[in-house]
């Protein structure tokens, strides 16, 4: 019997950067909750974005945000995993040196950017429905939980970052525009395991959905691991099952079948 369901958002439930859910997804989450099944939104997004997008059912979900750095429910932080201050500062400086990348830093409350990039700020506030603020110097941000590098088609542009920090941080591509960095040991999978332990739920009672490298650790925490049809090859290889694409509401199809 399935007791816990976790799903990524961008590229899995919705298109990348979208801020609206299909009403059928909202209704299905309600039905899942009413059956006593825990529903978890597991995303690289910040918790503010998740709460805004899932506004109609925010009291019926747990959320794993910032790739596992933050675990919460209905505006309340349950677990927070911070980065080492010195490593975070060095990473910000290295991203700053690469003129093809834009650094975005997250703490518990907001995202921060030091470039006046109106496109990015409008996208995060609009499409992602998140919170972002301009600051003069990102290295002065305290209690950092995630650092992201942004670029249009980022693959190959951040190879130096990956090579330097892979042994110090968890570094993952999240779609074609983001490289996400969190503290070592922080992942969607480990965050999901915390919830499994709290509710005494096994891997065989867990179902997960994803599409990117940052979902692979989550796949390892569940027997019923689904990659959507549009997923990256690394996610498809790691998943045990396949769902239809996000554009065809593949996750919804599986959930309706389950119900």
pLDDT computed for residue 120 by the predictor? 86
Locate the domains of the chain by residue range.
Answer: 4-80+186-258, 85-183
Average pLDDT of the chain is 94
118 C-beta neighbours (distance < 10 Å), count: 8
Q: Which pLDDT value is given to residue 70?
A: 96
CATH code linked to domain 85-183: 3.30.1240.10
pTM of this structure: 0.89
**pLDDT at residue 38, rounded to an integer:** 98
pLDDT digits (tens, 9 = 90+) for 81-133: 999 999 999 999 999 999 999 999 999 999 999 988 888 888 888 888 899 99
For position 258, what pLDDT does the model report? Answer: 94
Percent share of the chain, pLDDT over 70: 100
Give the architecture-level CATH label for domain 4-80+186-258.
Answer: 3-Layer(aba) Sandwich (3.40)
Length of the chain: 259
155-178 as b/e: b if 16+ CB within 10 A: eeebeebeeebeebbbbbbbbebb
Q: How confident is the model at residue 141 (pLDDT cuts 50, 70, 90)?
A: very high
- Position 26 scores a pLDDT of 97
Does 85-183 match 4-80+186-258 at the fold level?
no
């Amino acid at each position: 019997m399935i007791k816990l369901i976790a799903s990524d958002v961008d590229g899995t439930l919705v298109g990348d950067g979208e801020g609206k859910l299909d009403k059928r997804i909202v209704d299905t989450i309600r039905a899942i909750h009413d059956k006593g099944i825990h529903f978890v939104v597991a995303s690289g997004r910040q918790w503010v974005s998740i709460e805004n997008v899932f506004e109609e059912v925010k009291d019926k979900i747990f959320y794993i945000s910032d790739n596992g750095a933050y675990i919460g429910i209905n505006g309340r932080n349950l677990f927070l995993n911070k980065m080492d201050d010195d490593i975070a500062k060095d990473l910000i400086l290295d991203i700053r040196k690469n003129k093809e990348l834009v650094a975005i830093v997250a703490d518990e409350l907001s995202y921060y950017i030091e470039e006046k990039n109106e496109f990015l700020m409008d996208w995060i506030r609009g499409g992602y429905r998140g919170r972002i603020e301009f600051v003069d110097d990102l290295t002065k941000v305290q209690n950092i939980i995630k650092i992201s590098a942004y670029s249009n088609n980022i693959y190959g542009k951040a190879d130096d970052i990956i090579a330097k920090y892979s042994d110090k941080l968890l570094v993952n591509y999240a779609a074609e525009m983001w490289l996400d960095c969190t503290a070592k040991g922080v992942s969607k999978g480990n965050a999901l395991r915390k919830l499994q332990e709290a509710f005494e739920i096994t891997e065989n009672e867990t179902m997960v959905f994803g599409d990117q490298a940052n979902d692979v650790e989550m796949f390892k925490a569940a027997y019923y691991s689904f990659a959507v049809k549009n997923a990256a090859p690394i996610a498809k290889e790691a998943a045990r099952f396949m769902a239809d694409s996000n554009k065809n509401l593949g996750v919804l199809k599986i959930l309706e079948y389950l119900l």
